[in-house]
Amino acid sequence: MNDQRKARRAAIGAFAGTTIEYYDFVIYGTAAAAVFGSVFFPEGNDLAATAAALATFAVAFVARPIGGMIFGALGDRAGRKTTLVATVSIMGVSTFLIGCLPGYAVIGATAPVLLVVLRFLQGIALGGEWGSATLMAVEHAPAHRRGLYGTFVQLGSPAGSMIASLLFFALSATNAGLQELWRIPFLFAGVLTVVALVIRLRVGETPEFTKVRDAGEVSKQPLVAIFREGRVREVGLATGALLLGFGGFQITSVFLVLVYARQVGFSQPQTLLASVILSAASVCTFSLYGKLGDRFGILSISIVGCLYTIVMAFPMFAMVHSGNLALYLLAVPICYAGANAVFALNSSLAASRFPREIRATGISVSSTLAALLGGAFAPLISTQLLRATGGSYWPIVLFLIAQATISLACMTVMLMQARRVGETKTPASVQAVAA
């Protein structure tokens, strides 16, 4: 099998696995915003119950750094493929079991406790998934196409989200509705997990890890090596650069589209339709962002994305707040395009920051910290800000702008570093970042 075919197979394997992982992850977020408040918590104020459900949503983000450290080290010591098989299995089983859980009315307080445990396992799996999936795609890719191939990993997020949203949308349109049928997407995850495992088992180990292993350069303690080799600053910069991609996604796709839109009068089927449109727009544009990153520099395109987000954050919320369905459906795909570009290029950007011996650990720790700091509590914080201000959206706009500003600052430092040491846009290493 030639190198190009191996690269395509690796990209498809990374895409298929992350699609399933994010499908599992997103159906939880959708169900937490739309259903879990009434199923797993005592009856009471609807917004308070939703906030409690979104708190369980955040548990997975707390678990993600743990998963990142465990599976990042496994990826650097045993290989990317071994890690990917383990993470997709844990995610699939956890999600399937959530679909089997009885609600609060049946087993009382045990229900939310078990929900939290399974959500924690989801977070462990996703924390280890992203880093090794990124390297599976990027380390197989030609040096001048790593921006494009890296987007295959990120493409799993909107693709998984679109599948989940379409399924929830179809269920909400039935006579029974989501309150009766919400378990179906979780049980269906079992089937999807088998598909992902079959695809991933056919993908070989990455050439770069193979070189490290054959040369006897495998790091026995990659997490320790990050501190010993003075890579903490790189972890901090990478974490900040990834903040908007992870946090902005949660503020927009979970809070704005699914929670805030309901507060201003949109129906549940309308919010799910908006989620499908957002996901479809991402699926259609991610490859474009990857090609632009390869052409003009991954950091340069990401910086433009941050600036666009800062400018368009207020109009996006204002369009949703208008109560006009057409403006609502157009708001996120148009106004969120900048943050979407940042998210699409996250994989290639993160992979460029660390040497191959500790790369899986470095990007896993950075991405999970970004997800924890930027995305974990973003829907919950946004909901509480909404309650505290009597329904005003401007504090949440500032929250999104703050994340974009932090990412912009870290990317600017990275760009200055890259230009100072004379890096090019597409060198033979993974560092295709600077214009």
Query: Tens of pLDDT along 165-221?
Result: 788 878 877 777 677 788 898 898 888 888 888 888 888 888 888 888 888 888 888
Please indicate, yes or no, if residue 99 is contained in any of the structural domains: yes
With tokens 């929830």, the residue in question is 168
Is the pLDDT at 426 greater than 60? The verdict is: no
Say which amino acid occupies 330.
L
The CATH number covering residue 21 comes to 1.20.1250.20
At 296 the pLDDT is 92
Q: Which domain holds residue 117?
A: 3-420
At 394 the pLDDT is 93
At 47 the pLDDT is 63
**360-388 pLDDT, tens per residue?**
888 988 988 888 888 778 888 898 898 88
* pLDDT band (50, 70, 90) for residue 2: low
Please indicate, yes or no, if residue 430 is contained in any of the structural domains: no
Say which amino acid occupies 139.
E
Q: Give the pair of three-digit tokens for residue 111.
A: 């229900």
Which comes out higher in pLDDT, residue 142 or 98? Answer: 98
99-to-113, 176, 192 alpha-carbon distances in Å? 15, 17, 14
End-to-end CA distance of the chain: 33
* Rounded distance between C-alpha atoms, residue 274 and residue 405, angstroms: 26
Other C-beta atoms lying within 10 Å of the C-beta of residue 288? 13
Is the pLDDT at 318 greater than 90? The verdict is: yes
Please indicate, yes or no, if residue 19 is contained in any of the structural domains: yes
At residue 317, what are phi and psi to the nearest 5 degrees? -65, -40
At 49 the pLDDT is 66
Please indicate, yes or no, if residue 425 is contained in any of the structural domains: no
* Rounded distance between C-alpha atoms, residue 234 and residue 211, angstroms: 24
Please indicate, yes or no, if residue 426 is contained in any of the structural domains: no
At 328 the pLDDT is 94
At residue 137, what are phi and psi to the nearest 5 degrees? -80, -50
Is the pLDDT at 116 greater than 90? The verdict is: no
Structurally, the chain folds into a number of domains equal to 1
Please indicate, yes or no, if residue 406 is contained in any of the structural domains: yes
Q: What is the pTM of this model?
A: 0.81
At 429 the pLDDT is 40
Is the distance from CB of 18 to CB of 346 less than 8 angstroms?
no
Please indicate, yes or no, if residue 429 is contained in any of the structural domains: no
Return the HEC string of the chain: CCHHHHHHHHHHHHHHHHHHHHHHHHHHHHHHHHCHHHHHCCCCCHHHHHHHHHHHHHHHHHHHHHHHHHHHHHHHHCCHHHHHHHHHHHHHHHHHHHCCCCCHHHHCCHHHHHHHHHHHHHHHHHHHHHHHHHHHHHCCCCHHHHHHHHHHHHHHHHHHHHHHHHHHHHHHCCCCCHHHHCHHHHHHHHHHHHHHHHHHHCCCCCHHHHHHHHCCCCCCCHHHHHHHCCCHHHHHHHHHHHHHHHHHHHHHHHHHHHHHHHHCCCCHHHHHHHHHHHHHHHHHHHHHHHHHHHHHCHHHHHHHHHHHHHHHHHHHHHHHHCCCHHHHHHHHHHHCHHHHHHHHCHHHHHHCCCCCCCHHHHHHHHHHHHHHHHHHCHHHHHHHHHHHCCCCCHHHHHHHHHHHHHHHHHHHHHHHHHHHCCCCCCCCCCCCCCC
Is the pLDDT at 69 greater than 50? The verdict is: yes
Which comes out higher in pLDDT, residue 30 or 196? Answer: 196
Q: What is the length of the chain?
A: 435
Please indicate, yes or no, if residue 427 is contained in any of the structural domains: no
At 422 the pLDDT is 62
Q: Give the pair of three-digit tokens for residue 159.
A: 């693709």
68: Cα separation from own chain's centroid: 13
* Rounded distance between C-alpha atoms, residue 297 and residue 144, angstroms: 11
Which whole number is the average pLDDT over 74-94?
88
